Chains A and B, each alone.
Chain A
Amino acid sequence: MCGFGGYFGSIRDGRAILESMTAAIAHRGPDEQGIFTAPEAGLGHVRLSIVGLGDGQQPMSDASGELTIAFNGEIFNYVELRDELRAKGRRFRTSSDTEVILHLYDEMGEDCVTLLNGDFAFAIWDARRRRIMLARDRMGVRPLFYTAQGGTFYFASEVKALLEVPGISAEIDPIALDQIFTLWAPIAPRTPFRNILELEPAHLMVVDQRGVTTRPYWQLQYPDGDQPPSYVDERSAAEELRALLTDATRIRMRADVPVGAYLSGGLDSSIVSALAAGMTPQGLRTFSVTFDSAEHDESVFQLEMAAALGTQHSAIACRTGDIAKVFPDVIRFTERPIIRTAPAPLFQLSGLVREAGLKVVLTGEGADEVFAGYDIFKEARVRRFCGRQPGSRIRPHLFRKLYPYLPGLNQQSPEYLAAFFGAGDEPLDDPLFSHRPRLKGTAATKLFFSGDLRAELKDYDAAAELIGRLPQDFRRWHPLHQAQYLESRFLLPGYILSSQGDRMAMAHGVEGRFPFLDHRLVEFAAKLPPEMKLKGLTEKHILREATKDLLPPAIGRRVKQPYRAPDSHSFSGPGEFDYVRGALSEDAVAECGLFNAKAVTKLYEKCRSRPASGFRDNAAFVGILSTQLWLQTFAGTRIRKAEAA
C-alpha cells in the first residue's frame, strides 16, 4: 500500500516535480520514497512497506530495465501467480507482489490485470512501446487521478499531488457539486476538481504519443430476471459462499507485518474478524469506534464479539466535538465535499490503528452491497409492496420496521409514510426506482445553491446522467439486482471506499483490506437468486446462514444498523469551533459564491438551536461546510484573488 505520481511527456524538471508530488502524498507511504525518470516519462513513489519489506522498493524496473512500475495496493494472489510464472521459467529478483505485475505485463501486456486478485492502482512505463499503462482494481478500492497540462499527461494517487504541478490549480466543478448534493458522490470519471478526472474502477488506460485510450477490463453483471437461477439449493450456495469468503480472507492475511481488523459490532466485520482470528495463532488485534450518543454507539456488541473471539481489542471514543475537531483534516483527505460526517470517526480510528503500530486492517466493507444488506434494498421492496395497493393504511406500517432508529419517521401516520417514500405513485419501471426517495431527499439540499450556481447548472439533471451511465442489460435484471448495481458501481467507489475508506485509512498510513470485495465472491453473489440475499425483509440471509457457527447468536441475528455519526449537532454547543463560524459566515459564503449566504446563516442558526434536525438540514449543513472547507483548502488562490479585488 502506497502512493504514486507520474507523468508522460517531455518536461525539463521532471525529478523536481516528482519530488513535490510524492511529498504531497507522503502520508500514504511513510516508509520509503523513490523517483524514476526517463526522457519521456517519470514515476514517483512513496511506500508503506507491507510485502517484501527489504526488496520491494519502487519504482521497480524489470531485469531489462525497459519496464518500470509504480504500484499502490496489494495483489493478494501474487503467491499463486508467481508460482505459475516461475513454472514458465521466469526468475524473480524480489519477494514482492510488485514484481509479479511486471512479469505478468511482460507476458500479457495490459490484459495482465484480468489475472490480478487485489486492490490496486498502478502505472507501468513501457520503454519498448514508449507508453504508460494505468490500471485500477475492479471495485475501486485504490484511487488514481489524472489530468493534462501543457501537453504533458500527469497522474497520481491523490489530487493534492497533481496540484503540485506548475500550472495545475483547483477549481470546483459545478456539475460534480450538483452530483454530490444529489447522489452523495460525483459520477466518475468526474471529480470535484474541474479538468481533473479519475480512472474508473475496473478500467485500464494506455497513454502514448497518439493519445489516451481507456477501456473496462471487467464488469459487474447480474443474470437476466427471467433466467432460471444458477443456484437453487440454499445449503450448497451457503457452503460455496463460506469457502470463497474464507479464501478471500486467507489471501488478505498475507503480509510481512501483523494484520488487524476493524470491529464495528455488526454482522460483517464480526464475520471477517472471526475468520481472521482463526488464522492468527498469535492473536488478532481488533479496533472500534465508540460514540457518546446511544443511537450511534455499538460498543456492547463490539465488546461481546471481541470477548467471544479473544482478540486484543482497542477502542477510540468519538465524543461530542471530536468530529468538528478533525473535520478540516477529513476534508483535506477526502478531497471532496461530503454530505455526511461518517468519514470523521474512521479518520480517528485509523489513527488509533497506527498508534498501536499496525499498518493493515481487514474490514467488513462491501458485504452490504454484495449480499443486499442496506435498508435501501428493503425500502424498495416495501415501496413496491405498497404500490400494489395504493391507499392501503396497513402496508405503510412496514416502513417503521425499516428505520427504527429514525424517531421523526416512526411517529408518522401511514399516510405520511407512504407519501415520504413515494409509495404507490412512482413508475415501477424507473431504473432508479430503488433510490428515488434518497435522491429526492438529498437533492432538496440544493435549495441552498446560489443564483449564480443555479444559472451555471441550468437544467442539469444528475439522476438523468446516472441513468445514461447504466449498462444495456440493466433493465433486464431483477429490481434487487438493479439496486445492488447502483450501490456497488457508484456509491461504493465514489464514497464508501474513497471518502470513508482509502482516504481515511491512508491519512494515517493504514491499509484497509476487504474480503467481501474479492471479485470471485462478488461474481458469485451476483448470480445468487435475490431471495437468498434479501429473504422477506431479512437482509444478507445467505451470509447469515453461511457463517452462523462463527458468531454469538446475538450478533448473528442482529438487524443491520447502518454506520452513522452525529451530523450538524457535532458542530455546535460548548467548544464550538471558530473555523465553523468563519466558513459559514455570511461574508465567507457570499465570497465563495456557491451558496445563498442568507439562507446558510438561517440554516446554521437552526442547526445550532435545534440539534434534532432532519436529514435534509443535516446533509445541507455538512455539505455546505465541507464545500467551504474544500474551497479554502484546495482553491485558496480563488479566495485570495477575491480578497485582493
Chain B
Amino acid sequence: MTQAIKEKVKTFIIENFLFGDTSYDLADTASLIENDIIDSTGVLELVAFIEEQFGIVMVDADIVPANLDSLARISAFIEAKAVPVTA
C-alpha cells in the first residue's frame, strides 16, 4: 500500500514539478521546499492532486510541511487519512 502510494506521488512530483526530469535523485525524505521543488502555488497543486487521486478531503490544518514536505511524509499522511485507524 505505502509503496504504491509513494510511487503515485513520486510520479506526480516528477511530472508536475520536475517536468519529467527522472535524473533528479528525489530521496524519500528530501524537503520539497528546501530543494526548490515546490512553491506556494505548488502546494495547492499538490493538495488538489491528493484530494482527487486518493479521495481525501484536506482541511486547512492538514496543509502543513509536517504532512507534505517530503515524499515520505506525503505517503504517510495519505495512508493515515485513507485508512482510518480504529480503536
Tell which of A415, A599, A600, A603 has the most Cβ of chain B within 10 Å.
Answer: A415
Known: A415-B65, A415-B66. A408 touches B40 (CB 8 A): yes
B56 at the interface (CB under 8 A from A): no
Give the residues in chain A near B60, CB-CB below 8 Å.
Answer: 413
Give the residues in chain B near A408, CB-CB below 8 Å.
Answer: 39-41, 43-44
Give the distance in Å from the alpha carbon of A378 to the alpha carbon of B63 in the complex: 25
Instruction: Mark A585-627 against chain B: 1 for CB-CB distance below 8 A, else 0.
Output: 0000000000010111011001000001111110000000000
Give the distance in Å from the alpha carbon of A416 to the alpha carbon of B63 in the complex: 8
Would you give the shortest CB distance from A155 to chain B, in whole angstroms? 39
Give the residues in chain B near A600, CB-CB below 8 Å.
Answer: 19
Give the distance in Å from the alpha carbon of A231 to the alpha carbon of B39 in the complex: 41
Taking CB as reference atom, which chain A residue is nearest B69?
A419
Would you give the shortest CB distance from A574 to chain B, in whole angstroms? 24
Would you give the shortest CB distance from A228 to chain B, in whole angstroms? 41
Say whether A614 contacts B21, CB under 8 Å: no
Give the distance in Å from the alpha carbon of A441 to the alpha carbon of B65 in the complex: 17
Known: A419-B65, A420-B33. A599 touches B39 (CB 8 A): no
- Residue from B16, B33, B39, B65 within 8 A of A606 (CB atoms): B16
Say whether A615 contacts B41, CB under 8 Å: yes
Give the distance in Å from the alpha carbon of A617 to the alpha carbon of B21 in the complex: 15
A440 at the interface (CB under 8 A from B): yes
Say whether B20 contacts A599, CB under 8 Å: yes
B1-58 residues with Cβ-Cβ distance < 8 A to A are 15-16, 18-21, 33, 36-37, 39-44
Known: A416-B64, A419-B33. A602 touches B15 (CB 8 A): yes
- Residue from B18, B33, B42, B69 within 8 A of A447 (CB atoms): B18
Taking CB as reference atom, which chain B residue is nearest A599?
B19
Give the residues in chain A near B61, CB-CB below 8 Å.
Answer: 413
Say whether B39 contacts A615, CB under 8 Å: yes
Give the residues in chain B near A440, CB-CB below 8 Å.
Answer: 36
A412 at the interface (CB under 8 A from B): yes
Count class of interface residues, chain A: 20 to 34
Give the residues in chain A near B20, CB-CB below 8 Å.
Answer: 598-599, 602
Would you give the shortest CB distance from B66 to chain A, in whole angstroms? 7
Say whether B40 contacts A416, CB under 8 Å: yes
Give the distance in Å from the alpha carbon of A416 to the alpha carbon of B66 in the complex: 9
Give the residues in chain A near B44, CB-CB below 8 Å.
Answer: 408, 411
Instruction: Mark A384-413 against chain B: 1 for CB-CB distance below 8 A, else 0.
Output: 000000000000000000000010110111
- Residue from B36, B63, B64 within 8 A of A444 (CB atoms): B36
Give the distance in Å from the alpha carbon of A412 to the alpha carbon of B44 in the complex: 9
Say whether B41 contacts A441, CB under 8 Å: no
Instruction: Mark A432-457 against chain B: 1 for CB-CB distance below 8 A, else 0.
Output: 00000000110110011000000000
Give the distance in Å from the alpha carbon of A613 to the alpha carbon of B19 in the complex: 14
Would you give the shortest CB distance from B30 to chain A, in whole angstroms? 14
Give the distance in Å from the alpha carbon of A596 to the alpha carbon of B18 in the complex: 11
Give the distance in Å from the alpha carbon of A416 to the alpha carbon of B39 in the complex: 10
Say whether A406 contacts B19, CB under 8 Å: no
Would you give the shortest CB distance from A135 to chain B, in whole angstroms? 41
Known: A441-B36, A443-B36. A416 touches B43 (CB 8 A): yes
Give the distance in Å from the alpha carbon of A99 to the alpha carbon of B10 in the complex: 68
Known: A596-B21, A602-B20. A444 touches B15 (CB 8 A): no
Give the distance in Å from the alpha carbon of A614 to the alpha carbon of B17 in the complex: 11
Would you give the shortest CB distance from A606 to chain B, in whole angstroms? 7
Count class of interface residues, chain B: 20 to 34
Say whether B40 contacts A614, CB under 8 Å: yes
Known: A598-B20, A599-B20. A420 touches B40 (CB 8 A): yes
Taking CB as reference atom, which chain B residue is nearest A442?
B36
Taking CB as reference atom, which chain B residue is nearest A444?
B36
Would you give the shortest CB distance from B12 to chain A, in whole angstroms? 12
Give the distance in Å from the alpha carbon of A599 to the alpha carbon of B17 in the complex: 10
Give the distance in Å from the alpha carbon of A406 to the alpha carbon of B65 in the complex: 19
Say whether A614 contacts B19, CB under 8 Å: no
- Residue from A412, A448, A599, A606 within 8 A of B40 (CB atoms): A412
Taking CB as reference atom, which chain A residue is nearest B41?
A614
Instruction: Mark A541-580 against chain B: 1 for CB-CB distance below 8 A, else 0.
Output: 0000000000000000000000000000000000000000
Say whether A441 contacts B64, CB under 8 Å: no
- Residue from B19, B36, B43, B63 within 8 A of A602 (CB atoms): B19
- Residue from A419, A447, A612 within 8 A of B41 (CB atoms): A612
Tell which of B15, B16, B19, B66 has the most Cβ of chain A within 10 Å.
Answer: B19
Say whether B36 contacts A413, CB under 8 Å: no
Tell which of B15, B40, B66 has the most Cβ of chain A within 10 Å.
Answer: B40
- Residue from A420, A598, A612 within 8 A of B39 (CB atoms): A420
Give the residues in chain B near A613, CB-CB below 8 Å.
Answer: 41
Give the residues in chain A near B39, CB-CB below 8 Å.
Answer: 408, 420, 441, 444, 614-616
Give the residues in chain B near A603, CB-CB below 8 Å.
Answer: 19
Would you give the shortest CB distance from B50 to chain A, in whole angstroms? 15
Say whether A614 contacts B42, CB under 8 Å: yes
Say whether B63 contacts A447, CB under 8 Å: no
Give the distance in Å from the alpha carbon of A448 to the alpha carbon of B33 in the complex: 17
Give the residues in chain B near A606, CB-CB below 8 Å.
Answer: 16, 19
Give the residues in chain B near A616, CB-CB below 8 Å.
Answer: 36, 39, 42
Give the residues in chain B near A617, CB-CB below 8 Å.
Answer: 41
Give the distance in Å from the alpha carbon of A412 to the alpha carbon of B63 in the complex: 7
Give the distance in Å from the alpha carbon of A412 to the alpha carbon of B61 in the complex: 10
Known: A408-B41, A420-B40. A447 touches B21 (CB 8 A): yes
Give the residues in chain B near A615, CB-CB below 8 Å.
Answer: 39-41
- In the A-B complex, the 9 residue pairs with the smallest Cβ-Cβ separation, listed nearest first, are A614-B41, A599-B19, A444-B36, A408-B41, A602-B19, A408-B40, A415-B64, A409-B40, A614-B39
A-B contact pairs, 6 of them (CB 8 A): A408-B41, A409-B40, A419-B69, A420-B40, A596-B21, A599-B21
Q: Told that A408-B44, A598-B19, A616-B36 touch, could you supply 13 new A-B pairs with CB distance under 8 A? A: A408-B41, A408-B43, A413-B64, A416-B63, A416-B64, A441-B36, A441-B39, A447-B19, A599-B20, A600-B19, A603-B19, A613-B41, A615-B41
